[in-house]
């Protein structure tokens, strides 16, 4: 077993836990749609957590050609995956057995947590890109750094500006950015 296979296996386990958590939350909400008070910003952030989990997992495939995995590289990679799990966990509300599931109130109460996790994720991604990057090792370094910088700006907007327009704009733009990132990352892996 190569070092990449070992690290990728550990990341896959954590990624699977994150996807299981968020998908179970989605199913819980779908089973109780008649009790939900819908929140567009929350739905968009939840979508962002879901697609970024898939996109980030797929993006690591490009690292299979690395022959050396120093301890700091392994720790940074696992830390990124753990922060991805935290993002998925924070954006997933508990589904009570009775009463209204108020996603508007959930977003107003919890958005700082999950937007902070999203911002930490893109910040760590930028550090990861800088640490492992460079045009000679990672052909898409500029693209991924641009995504991280744009995602960081959107997370800062959503975290610090509580106005409804800022919440909707940051959530929609982040969802679009991460959906696009996931599509192109999965296309690169499939090629």
pLDDT at 144: 66
Tokens of 141: 């370094």
Domain of residue 86: give its range: 3-190
d(C-alpha 11, C-alpha 60), whole Å: 9
135 neighbors 141 (Cβ within 8 angstroms): yes
Each of the 191 residues of the chain gets a pLDDT tens digit; together they read 888 899 999 999 999 999 999 999 999 999 999 999 999 999 999 999 999 999 999 988 888 888 888 888 899 999 999 999 999 999 999 999 999 999 999 999 999 999 999 999 999 998 888 777 654 555 566 766 888 999 999 999 999 999 999 999 999 999 999 999 999 988 877 76
Give the three-class secondary structure for 37. Answer: strand
Cα separations (Å) of 56 from 15, 98, 150, 159, 189?
9, 36, 16, 22, 11
Give the chain's domain count.
1
Are 185 and 55 spatial neighbours (Cβ–Cβ below 8 Å)?
A: yes
Name the pTM for this structure: 0.93
């Amino acid at each position: 077993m190569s070092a990449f296979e070992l690290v990728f296996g550990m990341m896959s386990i954590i990624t699977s836990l994150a996807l299981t958590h968020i998908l179970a939350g989605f199913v819980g909400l779908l089973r109780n749609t008649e009790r939900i008070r819908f929140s567009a910003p929350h739905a968009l952030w939840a979508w962002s957590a879901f697609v970024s989990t898939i996109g980030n997992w797929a993006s690591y495939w490009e690292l299979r050609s690395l022959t050396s995995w120093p301890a700091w590289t392994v720790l940074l990679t696992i830390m990124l995956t753990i922060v991805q799990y935290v993002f998925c966990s924070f954006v997933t509300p508990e589904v009570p057995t009775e009463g209204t599931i108020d996603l508007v109130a959930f977003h107003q109460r919890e958005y700082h947590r999950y937007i902070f996790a999203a911002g930490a994720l893109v910040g760590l991604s930028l550090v990861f890109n800088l640490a492992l990057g460079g045009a000679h090792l990672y052909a898409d370094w500029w693209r991924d750094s641009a995504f991280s910088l744009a995602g960081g700006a959107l997370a800062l907007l959503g975290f610090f500006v509580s106005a409804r327009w800022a919440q909707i704009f940051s959530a929609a733009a982040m969802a679009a950015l991460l959906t696009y990132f996931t599509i192109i990352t999965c296309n690169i892996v499939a090629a």
